[in-house]
Amino acid sequence: MTLEEALTLLRDKRPDASAQGEAQARLDGIAKPLHSLGLLEDMVVKIAGITGSAELDLSKKCVVVFCADNGVVAEGVTQTGSEITALVAENLSKGITTVNRMAACAGAKVLPVDIGVAREVKGPLCRKIAFGTKNLAVEPAMTRQQTTAALEVGIQLAGELKQEGFSILATGEMGIGNTTTSSAVLAALLQIPARQVTGRGAGLSTQGLERKIQVIEQALALHRPDPGDPLDVLSKVGGLDIAGMAGLFLGGGVYGIPVVIDGLISGVAALIAQRLAPGIEAYMLPSHQSAEPAGELVLSALGLTAPLRCGMCLGEGTGAVALFPLLDMVEAVYRETSTFAEISMEPYRPLV
């Protein structure tokens, strides 16, 4: 499916209100105080609307980790070099990274995808658009055609995974320099100063942070990305990993499969998707509020509230995977807990 076809389909698509109503009624009939599981109950209703069924089944989970390099690393905005992207991408395939261990505990598959690593790597699914992006400090990171192609990779993966029987997806990323690209995209989309959305990433000194802010400011002044054109913003100062994740969010809406947002970088991808297809946030589940300075800001821009505040900023999809056990718990409550009628108890009533 092309990006244009996806956006056309999403223009008139909405979650299933009937399934949402049925799920809400079932939750309200469970023998417990009304809405006492808070945001987790809201997620059950949301998932029912996304899938079009009140019969929840989140048993087959997958976190899709988009791996890509960023040319802006040449500007000294990171503590480590680009070679780490390829190393971690291969380790994701070997099952030895942090998200692999967390996903194993949560019963989820990890699918690493090489969408733009700067060299050939063994193990990840190869959907490479380019060998990394250009240096956004001196030229546009990508062409508009590359950006569109990367978005379409995400859309197509959502469809493939749905066909394989996965019932919920999570977004992850691996790419040295991608807190720089995500901060640049967010500053451009929200038209706010780079300093307000830029953090230390994987670990920068105060001097390094100042350099990072300066580079982002320089790129925004040079390229003048149009906040009204998400593809323009993404192609000029974004990254292939962000584009892939944005496509996965769009694919979630197209194929009726919930997609979990990870942290800041994933959140920026979600915001790109929302700007391309207003209302697509109805198919997204927030997981945690990133420890990055703009973590709360990006969720607010999406109109979403994350249930977890763990102070995490690791990436790889770790925060998104951390939501899975909570969803398993609320699914068990939803499917297996006695109702008021079954235990002959007077149900709770909404208070005015």
Averaged pLDDT in 10-residue chunks for the chain of 352 residues: 97 97 96 95 98 96 98 91 96 98 98 98 97 98 98 98 98 96 97 90 79 95 98 98 98 98 97 98 97 92 96 94 98 94 86 70
Residue whose entry in the numeric block shows the structure tokens 């990890």:
110
Identity (one letter) of the amino acid at 299? L
Residue whose entry in the numeric block shows the structure tokens 């087959």:
60
Catalytic residue among 316, 331, 336, 342: 316
pLDDT at 160 (0 to 100): 98
Question: How far is Cα 238 from Cα 236, in angstroms, rounded to an integer?
Answer: 6
Question: How far is Cα 187 from Cα 80, in angstroms, rounded to an integer?
Answer: 24
Yes or no: say if 149 and 42 are a contact pair by the CB < 8 Å rule.
no
- Answer whether 0.75 is exceeded by the pTM: yes
**Distance from CA of residue 320 to its chain's centroid?**
8
CA within 13 Å, CB half, 109:
17
Yes or no: say if 302 and 267 are a contact pair by the CB < 8 Å rule.
yes
Active site includes 90?
Answer: no
Question: How far is Cα 260 from Cα 266, in angstroms, rounded to an integer?
Answer: 9
Q: Name the strand (E) or helix (H) holding 150.
A: helix 144-163
Residue whose entry in the numeric block shows the structure tokens 């950006």:
147
DSSP string, 106-147: HTEEEEEEEEE-SS--SSSEE--SSSS---TTTS-SS-HHHH
pLDDT at 293 (0 to 100): 83
pLDDT at 206 (0 to 100): 79
Closest by alpha carbon to 194, among 223, 174, 228, 151? 223
Identity (one letter) of the amino acid at 70? N
